[in-house]
């Protein structure tokens, strides 16, 4: 994280919340006349200009997306997230949590957990938890730079060590841990697990091969290539590779998020400009109008589906 330019607090830090309106960690605007305000404060007074005229009205009550960087120097917990209905009913949350990972860096032999092996039932899963043999139920997959992993709500998943990634997700912080390698916190206690709720939300179907891809963007114009790398009911993510100038338009219909994952870039728009230091993220307000991305860059472009 420090090599990516983040100033870290003391202790172990595995996540950087890049664009967030969640109360557990809100983003602060860093440029322009709204600098210093939090994203929720901006949305209170400028909802349609920021979010767009065509988005779900509930987004004005709670921003729908959250963008993170995750740095797994050690294996992270094996976990699962609820869907919208469960999150609303049992957690008082507006959204559940479907997410997507883009692998930015990976050590040799780095691997993830995403889903279950064929034949794993709820009974077998519960027995493996009790016996300490959960790994016999999990689908492990090696990863490399440029891999994309889609993780629908209900999918058991976990990160192995030696991986840095960008995560696009619904705006939720509800996580049910099912296994944490018996690690202890600063007080010497093992971290809390959430077995009962996890068992109620896990999808016990086998891992879906369609959730794994290594997209290769196709040229759309000189110096421009892109590919849709994830499409869910909650968000769509495109991978963009640009050389030179790339002009787009925020036409008032919806906001756009960019996470720059390689190269250098500047953004020019009517009334201003901004340099982007990799791997920064930007929120393009729906009402911005035409803007131009300049440089040699690779970026994830996210918008609500």
Residue 60: its pLDDT value, please? 87
**What Cα–Cα distance (Å) separates residue 201 from each residue in 115, 139, 195, 196, 292?**
13, 18, 10, 9, 43
Residue 243: its pLDDT value, please? 96
Task: Give the Cα separation of 234 and 147 in Å (integer).
Answer: 20
Task: Give the Cα separation of 107 and 164 in Å (integer).
Answer: 9
Quick: pLDDT tens for 76-95.
999 999 999 999 999 999 99
Task: Give the Cα separation of 109 and 299 in Å (integer).
Answer: 25
Looking at the chain, which residues constitute the CATH 2.60.120.10 domain(s)? Answer: 15-213, 218-303
Q: Are the C-beta atoms of 232 and 155 separated by less than 8 Å? A: no
Residue 277: its pLDDT value, please? 85
**Full-model pTM:** 0.95
Task: Give the Cα separation of 104 and 113 in Å (integer).
Answer: 17
Residue 191: its pLDDT value, please? 84
Displacement of CA 57 from its chain's centroid (Å): 22
**Catalytic position from the list 88, 177, 200, 254:** 177
- pLDDT-derived band of residue 67, with 50, 70 and 90 as boundaries? very high
Q: Which two tokens stand for residue 266?
A: 């500047």
- The yes-or-no answer on residue 191 being catalytic is no
CA dihedral sign, ordered 263, 221, 102, 292: positive
- Cβ contacts of residue 105 below 8 Å, gap of 6+? 145, 163, 164
CATH number of 218-303: 2.60.120.10
Task: Give the Cα separation of 163 and 104 in Å (integer).
Answer: 8
Q: Are the C-beta atoms of 278 and 255 separated by less than 8 Å? A: no
- pLDDT-derived band of residue 65, with 50, 70 and 90 as boundaries? very high
Task: Give the Cα separation of 85 and 82 in Å (integer).
Answer: 8
- pLDDT-derived band of residue 163, with 50, 70 and 90 as boundaries? very high
Q: Which CATH architecture fits 15-213?
A: Sandwich (2.60)
Average model confidence (pLDDT) for the chain?
94
The percent of residues above 70 in pLDDT, for the chain, comes to 100
Task: Give the Cα separation of 30 and 34 in Å (integer).
Answer: 8
- Where b means 16+ CB within 10 Å and e means fewer, 239-263 reads bbbbeeebebebeeebbbbbbbbee
Residue 305: its pLDDT value, please? 80
The percent of residues above 90 in pLDDT, for the chain, comes to 86
């Amino acid at each position: 994280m420090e090599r990516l330019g983040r100033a870290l607090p003391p202790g172990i830090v595995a996540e950087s919340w890049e664009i967030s309106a969640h109360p557990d960690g809100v983003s602060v605007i860093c440029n322009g006349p709204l600098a210093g305000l939090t994203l929720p404060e901006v949305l209170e007074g400028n909802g349609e200009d920021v979010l767009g005229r065509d988005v779900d009205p509930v987004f004005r009550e709670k921003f729908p997306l959250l963008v993170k960087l995750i740095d797994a120097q050690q294996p992270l917990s094996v976990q699962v997230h609820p869907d919208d209905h469960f999150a609303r009913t049992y957690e008082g949350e507006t959204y559940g949590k479907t997410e997507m990972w883009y692998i930015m860096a990976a050590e040799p032999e780095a691997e993830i957990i995403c889903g279950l092996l064929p034949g794993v039932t709820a009974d077998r899963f519960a027995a493996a938890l009790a016996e300490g043999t959960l790994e016999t139920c999990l689908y492990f997959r090696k990863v490399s730079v440029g891999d994309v992993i889609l993780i629908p709500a209900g999918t058991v998943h976990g990160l192995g060590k030696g991986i840095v990634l960008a995560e696009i997700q619904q705006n939720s912080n509800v996580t049910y841990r099912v296994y944490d390698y018996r690690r202890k916190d600063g007080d010497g206690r093992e971290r809390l697990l959430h077995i009962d709720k996890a068992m109620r939300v896990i999808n016990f179907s086998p891992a879906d091969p369609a959730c794994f891809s290594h997209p290769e963007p196709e040229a759309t114009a000189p110096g421009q290539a892109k590919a849709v790398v994830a499409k869910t009911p909650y968000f769509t993510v495109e991978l963009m590779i640009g050389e030179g100038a790339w002009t787009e338009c925020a036409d008032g219909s919806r906001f756009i998020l960019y996470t720059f994952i390689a190269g250098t870039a500047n953004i020019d728009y009517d009334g201003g400009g901004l340099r982007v230091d990799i791997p920064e993220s930007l929120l393009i307000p729906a009402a911005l109008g035409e803007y131009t991305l300049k440089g040699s860059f690779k970026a994830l472009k996210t918008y609500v589906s």
